[in-house]
Structure 1
Amino acid sequence: MDHTAATHAADVLIEALPYIQRFTGKTVVIKYGGNAMIDDHLKRSFARDIVLMKHVGINPVVVHGGGPQIGRLLERLGKESRFIGGMRVTDNETMDVVEMVLGGLVNKEIVNLINQQGGRAVGLTGKDGGLIRARKLQTRASAGEGDLGQVGEVSSIDPAVVHMLDSGDFIPVIAPIGVGEDGAAYNINADLVAGKIAAILGADKLILLTNTRGVLGGQGELLTSVSAREVAAMVADGTIHGGMLPKIECALDAVNSGVKTATIMDGRVEHAVLMELFTDQGVGTQIRG
């Protein structure tokens, strides 16, 4: 390493130091999805970021999705995917596939990636340790929207198993499958689960990785920081719409429930999580209360 490169490396560490000090001992919940969990290079980059966070004393908790992977396996099995209002209709057979993909293939791949980078990850679904209690998501079926089947929402979260893993220097990797009072499994939106877990853990930060730069203003510009009041105005006038709406609502719910900040950011940027946590610039859009 030449002198200039060494000086730059030192500058990076010095810039990161106050952020490391601020987040040491704190919990950060990361919703992992989109391109970041499909591109091999980004997958390894994400795993390294998570391991570094743990090694500097932060407690990362990963919640992941897996919609495209579920869709691909259903297609291979010859089962058509149906959606109502952007949500997958989940009958018994589809739920079996959801559990196989989310709780099995995808979850264990993420665990393996983190462990290969020197971490100690443990994979969970909401069934483990009674982590996520769910109830059937109520839709306006009477208005002709149809029944979503085993699609759920969070009724309660028992974080005991997550606390136990954190205290043992393990990294929890959570698949968004909940269990109902009747023992039935429910497929739950991963953004929603990440927000609820962040709130119940009293996380300092919620990070939602997406395939967009963050929240965009009326001229298509990236908004680096917005308040809850500004978000409400942008939702009302249609500036925020479509697929960004549920992410924004999830981030707002988390902030309103005591999470200090929530950030929606581009998972296609290498080391986006580290840049958001440890640099002055940050990445994406930070949502404040």
Structure 2
Amino acid sequence: MIIQTEIDSSEERGWATAKQLAEALPYIQIYDREIVTIKYGGHAMGEAETARIFASDIVLLKLLGIHPVVVHGGGPQISAMLGRAGVKSTFIDGLRVTDDATMEIAEMVLSGAVNKEIANWITQAGREADVRGVGLSGKDAGLITVEKATRIKRDPDSMIEQVVDLGFVGEPKNVDDKLLRTLIDDPNHDYVPVIAPIGVSDDGHTFNINADTVAGAVAGKLSAKRMLLLTDIAGVMDENKNLIRQMTISEAKGLIESGVAVGGMIPKLETAIMAVEAGVEAVVILDGRRPHAMLVELFTEHGAGTLIQADPI
């Protein structure tokens, strides 16, 4: 009797799985042979099981005919290494001020351990289907050329604006997508580019770049169908801390100007605005700690997180 009950339960799960696959078909067709740029970051990156699930989902996207391009962060990992080295960090509007010592450690962590680990997770998850993660940084093949980033801060008392020097923090000036296109379009292999947010200036200096900004620049250059910003929050919150499911870029700008968006959410929204204005159909900010969040967003009617798109014409 117990065995029969287990068989019945297994059969029900099988029918439920088949139903879910059938319901996903219209969405799979929407993204067929489209590029989806995924920014992977936040504290979820440090959890092995979450990383395995993420890598498996990336492989599934590739096998479903989608071209995922991963851009990763590594803030917590950089902070941990800086702490061990006794180097203190300061942040302005969510961006890490980067001096020589910080830059050296940031490149070591981002282009080294973090980048290769993510690429390896994808390769291991896709071993049977020959899907391979390829670790890159913006310095490889001139992928990302940068210019020095600056920020303007206004003194709340005097209202005087001052230019703040962020050190070796860059803004993408150009994304050379030839290498990415070669990997994406290879007819004989299923490669998944994995990009560390490190770039180089025209005079050869190395710069740290906000990973959200890199993801936006890459998505815009590749004319991605979607850009997914996987982070460690549920999405964009309103002034009452309720999740906003959908907004236009004008509404996103309003959140920044009104002060509702603060800290690390500011560069995320700025990235979303820039990416949509560059031609990305929509950007979604969602919680990468939740298993299969990407699949829920792309292949179900419910979606996940906050979707940001152009203003209606």
Instruction: Report the Cα distance in structure 2 between the residues aligned to 1:77 and 1:233, rounded to whole angstroms.
Output: 40
1:156 aligns with 2:174: yes
The AA in structure 1 aligned to 2:138 is: G
Instruction: Report the Cα distance in structure 1 between the residues aligned to 2:121 and 2:241, rounded to whole angstroms.
Output: 35
**Equivalences for 1:84-103 in 2 at 5 Å?**
84-103=92-111
Higher mean Cα deviation, 180-189 or 228-237?
Answer: 228-237
Pairwise CA distance, 1:144: 6.2
> Cα deviations across residues 212-231 of structure 1 (Å, max 9, x unaligned)?
11112333222211122332
Higher mean Cα deviation, 214-223 or 31-40?
Answer: 214-223
Instruction: Report the Cα distance in structure 2 between the residues aligned to 1:95 and 1:239, rounded to whole angstroms.
Output: 31
Say if 2:150 and 2:164, in contact at 8 Å, map to a contact too.
no
- The CA RMSD over aligned residues, in Å, is 1.8
Instruction: Report the Cα distance in structure 1 between the residues aligned to 2:25 and 2:15, rounded to whole angstroms.
Output: 15
Instruction: Report the Cα distance in structure 1 between the residues aligned to 2:136 and 2:216, rounded to whole angstroms.
Output: 17
Say if 1:36 and 1:46, in contact at 8 Å, map to a contact too.
no
Say if 2:40 and 2:73, in contact at 8 Å, map to a contact too.
yes
Match of 2:283 in 1: 262
Pairwise CA distance, 1:3: 2.5
**Equivalences for 1:41-190 in 2 at 5 Å?**
41-118=49-126, 119-140=131-152, 147-168=165-186, 169-190=190-211
Unaligned 5+ runs, structure 2:
1-6, 154-159
- Shift in CA distance, 233/78, structure 1 to aligned 2, threshold 3 Å: closer
Pairwise CA distance, 1:77: 1.9
Pairwise CA distance, 1:94: 2.0
Unaligned 5+ runs, structure 1:
none
State the TM-score, normalizing by the size of structure 2: 0.87
State the TM-score, normalizing by the size of structure 1: 0.94
Say if 2:93 and 2:262, in contact at 8 Å, map to a contact too.
no
* Aligned mate of 2:274, from 242, 253, 256: 253
- Shift in CA distance, 131/226, structure 1 to aligned 2, threshold 3 Å: same
Indicate the SS of the match to 2:251.
helix
Match of 1:196 in 2: 217
**Equivalences for 1:21-36 in 2 at 5 Å?**
21-36=29-44
Instruction: Report the Cα distance in structure 2 between the residues aligned to 1:58 and 1:85, rounded to whole angstroms.
Output: 34
> Cα deviations across residues 61-94 of structure 1 (Å, max 9, x unaligned)?
0000111111111221222223344332222222
* Aligned mate of 1:273, from 291, 294, 298: 294
Which is greater in Rg?
Answer: 2
Instruction: Report the Cα distance in structure 2 between the residues aligned to 1:229 and 1:86, rounded to whole angstroms.
Output: 21
Instruction: Report the Cα distance in structure 2 between the residues aligned to 1:144 and 1:217, rounded to whole angstroms.
Output: 29
Say if 2:37 and 2:71, in contact at 8 Å, map to a contact too.
yes
Say if 2:99 and 2:167, in contact at 8 Å, map to a contact too.
yes
Identity of aligned residues (%): 48
